[in-house]
Structure 1
């Protein structure tokens, strides 16, 4: 496939959307299965999921920076550099993932104390965090391989692998949770077994695709490659992204801890709402992910005007889609909540949050599209600073003040989450419109090219 076709917005976005859609559908089925164990099990999965997301940012710092550089280098037609960056991104991410796995497997009880997990949930928490979290290195493999493959313009392979992985996970859940095929009923432990088995198989398939993703095949000896100059480029782009991502996830983790202080019903309601909200945003998220890949490639190829305008096109498309989806969820969301639980208090809490989602989703789309566009051209430090300040003060601080101290509960917390997305989205939009960083990077590239031409030896 030609480069222009591989990096078209819809060519990149639709496989990502299909993957996210099926992940959300299968995630909903997964949540339903876990809810058959108990509402406490759902609460454990929801809270530990925030913890896992927080720790994921440690290896996504490397994987994300590598992904942007892969698209940029391919745009510059420096294919060998792109290949080297992909290899280093993979090996560094997996090394970090292994450290995280060891910590989660051995320290689940200590982590529960830090997050104020209720004593009655500790047995379920220890089982889930130690065993499912112990397989985080597999998630590091999948994340780094997915990111590298997608940024070559191939978004279909991760889609197919993701579909297979999630379908296998659901099938194994049915067997292991409920004791089918002669196996004992393992409950929440069965979820951890099915998750790790499906992730292992997915990582093996993705690695095979990764081996053939570049002009020259990647072999096992290549995994020892390390070039300090290119690795510094990865870190320079990646570390602010990692801090940004970590700030968001830790903010969400803190908010989940605040919700846990409100009670198990509020925590379960928020977990159910997370599942429903994902359906609103998945198409917008796929477009935002695609535009990051496309903008990075166009910027690397020197097509700056197309990169600049393409970000706005993606934003407008994404806003229209998420607003339509949020309106649909508002109309039918109450019925879907009954699929997860029959607890009248949880249902009442969930219904009260559906209207807030009409504002939350467009605000998230604005923030993500503009944030990804700035990241694609390397302006990651600005987005990091904006995110840390807003999330610390507006999202986290505001949620504790209004949600816990002022007694507004989930209503106050949702209001602060919306305010945070609007603040960050507006600031990064103004940054992109100003084009200050973008034009500076273009000027730097032109000066670098000019110096290289002057220093090149003349041919006699």
Structure 2
């Protein structure tokens, strides 16, 4: 296969991989710091439940972002740049409108759901704080994600990476300050972690607004009274995005079912499960990165009427992803205990988390192939 295709895949995928790792690092930072904030099992369980509910809405958001990437990539491949910009505008408006009721649901209703997931006592109290803190900023999260998708569809994966670097530096600093009460700020514990995570997306969106105002983005939405909201474009985004969202949603539903089951075994078992998920989320990152590269390249090639190149790009993405995921899976199998100990010093939690990682390590290569091929099909 042409080496130029592999180089193009790597050029697109590596910045996305870094961005995804940074996103995961944001979650891991919360977990590590709260794993050392007593009582650790309560803090970890509260954040784990909060993130589980928060993640329930990601399939809808990311599904629509996937639809946006596919359509913009096609228009970009056709060199129809004006239409690509109009699609970006339609997508941003749609995500903004959808994210508001999601935020309201999260703030006022989601906290009551953690009881039915099996939480009790302090886990409910702390989990409610975390849920409300992150959901109130959900519109900014959705807007940052759609800006990421718009730029990646046009072939710019570096700008989202730089924005994510700023987001994560802010998040780590504010986590430390607000969880433990440093530099004159109050000690907020779990609530502090939620505030730090939520406001980091406000910062990221502000960075995008500054870049757009300075005309530094290769493609961007247009904010004007004369802009028309085009339902035909929205239908196309939903046509591609909803199946992708359902696909992602099945993972969220299965995670929710596991959560309910595992909570019945106590907070130690659930904390171990959360640590396993956090570590496993790192393993997913190469798969997501190469999946986005496959979507972007297949869409651009098909838009340019180069079907053979589209097939080659998807295959190259899959081969490279398999290589990355095999390495990650091997690490889970060979050193699961050391990976678990990064998150907590609790021996009981470490033992159970290591067992989870050992078992899941064997499935990583297959997951990588699945995510990448699915991404290519969406393009």
TM-score (norm 2): 0.91
Equivalent pair of 1:284/1:365 in contact (CA under 8 Å): yes
2:229 is matched with which residue? 226
Tell me whether 204-213 or 313-322 shows the greater mean CA deviation. 204-213
Over 3 Å counting, the alpha-carbon distance change for 1:186 and 1:93 in structure 2 is same
Q: Distance in 2 between matches of 1:224 and 1:187?
A: 44
- Which among 82, 85, 91 is matched to residue 84 of structure 2? 82
Q: What is the 5 A alignment of 1:229-244?
A: 229-244=232-247
SS of 2:127's equivalent in the other structure is helix
Distance 1:251 1:222, change over 3 A: farther
Aligned match for 1:267, one of 263, 267, 270 = 270
Distance change >3 Å, CA 223–CA 131, structure 1 → 2: farther
1:33 and 2:33 correspond? yes
Q: Note the C-alpha offset of 1:112.
A: 1.8
Larger RCO (alpha carbons 8 Å, 6+ apart): 2
Distance in 1 separating the partners of 2:293 and 2:80? 21
Structure 1 10/122 Cα, relative in aligned 2: closer, same or farther at 3 Å?
same
Greater CA drift, 121-130 or 351-360: 351-360
Query: Would you say the 8 A contact 1:292–1:373 is kept in 2?
Result: yes
- 1:345 aligned to 2:348? yes
The one of 154, 157, 162 aligned to 1:155? 157
Matches within 5 A, 1:269-288: 269-288=272-291
Q: Is it true that 1:123 corresponds to 2:122 in the alignment?
A: no
The 1:315–1:200 alpha-carbon spacing in structure 2 relative to 1, beyond 3 Å, is same
Contact 1:70 1:152 in 2 (8 A): yes
- Superposed CA offset, 1:324-356 (max 9, x none): 122123323312322322333222212222321
- Residues 309-331 of structure 1 show CA distances to partners (whole Å, capped at 9, x for unaligned) of 22222212211221112212332
**Cα separation, 1, equivalents of 2:339 and 2:131:** 28
Structure 1 residue 26: deviation in Å?
A: 4.5
What is the CA distance between 1:36 and its match in structure 2? Answer: 1.8
8 Å contact kept, 1:152–1:213: no
CA RMSD of aligned residues (A): 2.2
Match for residue 257 of structure 2 among 254, 268, 279: 254
Q: Quick one: which of 293, 298, 304 aligns to 2:296?
A: 293
Alpha-carbon distance between aligned partners in 1 of 2:217 and 2:195, rounded to the nearest angstrom? 34
Task: Please tell me whether Structure 1 or Structure 2 has the larger radius of gyration of its CA atoms.
Answer: 1
Shift of 1:83: 0.8
> Does the CA contact (< 8 Å) of 2:115 and 2:124 recur in 1?
no
Give the drift of 1:238.
1.6
Which structure 1 segments of 5+ residues have no match?
Answer: 377-460
The Cα shift of 1:216 comes to 7.8
TM-score relative to the length of structure 1 = 0.76
Distance 1:346 1:318, change over 3 A: same
Give the alignment of 1:19-418 within 5 angstroms.
19-37=19-37, 38-209=40-211, 212=215, 218-221=221-224, 224-376=227-379
Counterpart CA distance in 2 for 1:367 and 1:251 is 17
1:251: how far off?
2.1
Q: CA offsets, 1:199-226, max 9 Å, x none?
A: 1010121234456477787543168431
Query: How far 1:179 moved relative to its partner?
Result: 1.0
Residues 411-441 of structure 1: CA deviation (Å, up to 9, x unaligned): xxxxxxxxxxxxxxxxxxxxxxxxxxxxxxx
- SS of aligned partner of 1:44: helix
Structure 2: tracts of 5 or more residues without a match: none
- The 3 A distance-change label for structure 1 pair 217 and 326 is closer
Q: Cα gap change, 1:326/1:215 in structure 2, threshold over 3 Å: closer, same or farther?
A: closer
Q: Provide the rounded CA distance (Å) in 1 between the counterparts of 2:184 and 2:218.
A: 48
Q: Find the aligned partners of 2:62 and 2:339 in 1 and give their Cα distance.
A: 33
Q: Are 1:311 and 1:370, in contact at CA under 8 Å, matched by a contact in 2?
A: yes
The alpha-carbon deviation at position 156 of structure 1 amounts to 0.5
222 and 253 in structure 1: CA distance in 2 versus 1, 3 angstrom threshold: farther
Structure 1 CA distance, aligned partners of 2:291 and 2:122?
40
Deviations 1:142-182 (A, max 9, x none): 11111111111110010011011011111011111111111
Conserved 8 A contact 2:86-2:222 = no
Aligned residue-pair number: 372
